[in-house]
């Protein structure tokens, strides 16, 4: 039976592996295990930044998702960015993604967060359909980024 829980430091290596899988599938990102491990460690060590949730099957982490916290001045409350939703390829279409996102949404509700925002590739119809099935809807907003040195 799959189990969803909050990630701990000993989960870093497997979570880094999962991010490596995710970043080979996304258009804008490439894997950098050192950078990913550093970021995951930052979040695990500082729960005020966010939470990483992992899904274990028979003691092996086969999926993860994270919520990163910020504040919405519009809503006047804490909100979250849902980042790095990934399930190991052999476990896709078996309900692990639903377990992860449902857990993240329930956590957000209990914490009183006002909104969860996420990004996905524009041509990833499967992901968009999945998020719609969970109650997410597309935004009229356009994403801009600037990398800082």
Residue 90, token pair as written in the block: 């052999």
Q: Considering the domain boundaries, does residue 43 fall inside one?
A: yes
Residue 13, token pair as written in the block: 């290596």
Q: Considering the domain boundaries, does residue 97 fall inside one?
A: yes
**How distant, in Å, are the alpha carbons of 19, 33, 82, 126, 135 from that of 123?**
20, 26, 19, 9, 19
Q: Considering the domain boundaries, does residue 138 fall inside one?
A: no
- pLDDT in the model for residue 104: 98
- pLDDT in the model for residue 149: 85
* pLDDT per position as a tens digit, 97-114: 999 999 999 999 999 999
The span from the CA of 90 to the CA of 5, in Å, is 20
* pLDDT per position as a tens digit, 27-86: 788 899 999 999 999 999 999 999 999 999 999 999 999 999 999 999 999 999 999 999
Q: Considering the domain boundaries, does residue 140 fall inside one?
A: no
* pLDDT per position as a tens digit, 114-124: 999 999 988 99
- Residues 87/51, Cβ–Cβ less than 8 Å: no
Q: Which residue has the higher pLDDT, 84 or 25?
A: 84
pTM of the complete model: 0.95
Q: Considering the domain boundaries, does residue 22 fall inside one?
A: yes
26 pLDDT band (50/70/90 cuts)? Answer: confident
49: domain CATH number is 3.40.630.30
- pLDDT in the model for residue 1: 86
Q: Considering the domain boundaries, does residue 144 fall inside one?
A: no
Residue 51, token pair as written in the block: 């939470």
Q: What is the three-class DSSP state of 136? A: coil
DSSP H or E run through 43: helix 33-45
pLDDT of 90 strictly over 90: yes
The span from the CA of 122 to the CA of 62, in Å, is 25
- The tally of domains found in the chain comes to 1
Q: Taking every pair of C-alpha atoms in the chain, what is the biggest distance, in angstroms?
A: 44
Q: Considering the domain boundaries, does residue 42 fall inside one?
A: yes
Question: Residue 111: which domain range?
Answer: 3-133
Q: Considering the domain boundaries, does residue 92 fall inside one?
A: yes
């Amino acid at each position: 039976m799959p189990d969803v829980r909050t990630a701990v430091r000993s989960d870093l290596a497997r979570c880094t592996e999962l991010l490596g899988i995710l970043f080979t599938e996304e258009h804008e990102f490439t894997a950098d295990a050192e950078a990913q491990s550093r970021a995951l460690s930052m979040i695990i060590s500082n729960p005020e930044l966010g939470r990483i949730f992992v899904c274990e099957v028979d003691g092996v982490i086969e999926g993860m998702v994270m919520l990163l916290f910020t504040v919405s001045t519009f809503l006047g409350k804490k909100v979250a960015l849902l980042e790095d939703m990934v399930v190991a390829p052999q476990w896709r279409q078996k309900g692990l993604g639903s377990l992860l996102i449902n857990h993240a949404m329930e956590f957000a509700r209990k914490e009183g967060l006002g909104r969860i925002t996420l990004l996905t590739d524009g041509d990833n119809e499967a992901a968009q359909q999945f998020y719609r099935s969970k109650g997410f809807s597309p935004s009229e907003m356009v994403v801009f980024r600037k990398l800082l040195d």
